[in-house]
Amino acid sequence: MTKVGVLGARGRVGVEVCKAVHAADDLELVAAVDKDDPLESLAKAEVVVDFTHPDVVMGNMRWCIDRGIHTVVGTTGFDARRLDQVRGWLAANPGTNSLIAPNFGIAAVLMMHFARQAAKYFESVEIVELHHPNKADAPSGTARRTAELVAEARREAGLGSSPDATTSQLDGARGATVDDVHVHAVRLAGLIAHQEVILGGEGEILTIRHDTMNRASFTPGVLLGVRRVGGLDGLTVGLEHLLDL
């Protein structure tokens, strides 16, 4: 039995992760920790799952890694600087591994994969992500990662920026740019998590859309990460590395 701790255990995703760990025959939920609870109860865990908040996730990871506890992290807000910091902590604690994934939904991972595959065939691409209004960060971690993947594919194919003749605009009208890809964030009551990658070429549009219908959808990916993180090597970013894509 792998001993698992959950951080953010009373949150929207954390509740579902606790249920899934509890229901798994090969996993034991040894600690369910939320805001203001002492981290010490996580000390008996072999793997800690974090679905908290971008402002606190780095401190949580540091605490776990310094104690040799593997981490599976869904919390967003990671940029290159933060990832380098995590790599440094892992290097100082050999044998300890972390999996950080902007989206643990299998269909979301496929959506990102298909967007990367399609990117080289289209001169234009933009991303629209749509989320519930309680989300702290914009654009979403998934949209940021998708933009990076699409930009990588465009660079490899020798494509430049998407055509855009805009010379005057209201602030924000064209969204944020991530790696030269425009990303638009909608926050709306009734939504959970959704994304469209819109690719345009001569006389054709391809739209790749993903919809999250409930938060239990993240748990098969999280459990896969929990089961596999011990066999990874240092830091792994993205669930796609654990899938046979």
Ligand X SMILES: O=C(O)C1=N[C@H](C(=O)O)C[C@H](O)C1
Ligand Y SMILES: NC(=O)C1=CN([C@@H]2O[C@H](COP(=O)(O)OP(=O)(O)OC[C@H]3O[C@@H](n4cnc5c(N)ncnc54)[C@H](OP(=O)(O)O)[C@@H]3O)[C@@H](O)[C@H]2O)C=CC1
Choices 16-24, 52-60, 140-148, 162-170; region in contact with ligand X by CB under 6 A: 140-148
Look up residue 22 and give its two tokens.
């509890």
Choose from ligand X, ligand Y, none: what does 89 bind? Cβ within 5-8 Å by kind: none
Look up residue 4 and give its two tokens.
């698992």
Find tokens 């999280």 and name the residue: 222
Choices 60-68, 78-86, 88-96, 134-142; region in contact with ligand X by CB under 6 A: 134-142
- Least separation, in Å, of the C-beta of 104 and ligand Y? 4
- Least separation, in Å, of the C-beta of 64 and ligand Y? 12
Backbone angles phi, psi at 215, to 5 degrees: -85, -10
Binds ligand X (CB under 6 A): choice among 52, 98, 140, 146: 140
Choose from ligand Y, ligand X, none: what does 51 bind? Cβ within 5-8 Å by kind: ligand Y
Binds ligand X (CB under 6 A): choice among 102, 175, 221, 225: 102
Q: Which residues contact 189 (CB under 8 A, 6 or more apart)?
A: 132, 133
Q: Are strands 193-201 and 124-131 parallel, antiparallel or unpaired?
A: antiparallel
Terminal CA-CA length for the chain: 28
Look up residue 245 and give its two tokens.
């894509």
> Is residue 135 among the annotated active site residues?
yes
Calpha distance 143→102 (Å, rounded) = 9
Find tokens 């604690």 and name the residue: 93
**Marked catalytic residue, from 70, 131, 182, 194:** 131
Q: Which residues contact 226 (CB under 8 A, 6 or more apart)?
A: 2, 4, 21, 27, 47, 49, 72
> Is residue 131 among the annotated active site residues?
yes
Choose from ligand Y, ligand X, none: what does 98 bind? Cβ within 5-8 Å by kind: none
Write out the binding residues for ligand X, residues 192-231 only, by CB under 6 A: 193
Interface residue list for ligand Y (CB under 6 A): 7-8, 10-14, 33-35, 51-54, 56, 74-76, 101-105, 141, 218
Radius of gyration of the chain measured on its C-alpha atoms:
19
- Classified as helix, coil or strand, 17 is helix
Annotated binding-site positions for (S)-2,3,4,5-tetrahydrodipicolinate: 132, 141-142
Residues that bind ligand X (CB under 6 A): 76, 102-103, 131, 135, 140-142, 193
List, by residue number, the catalytic residues.
131, 135
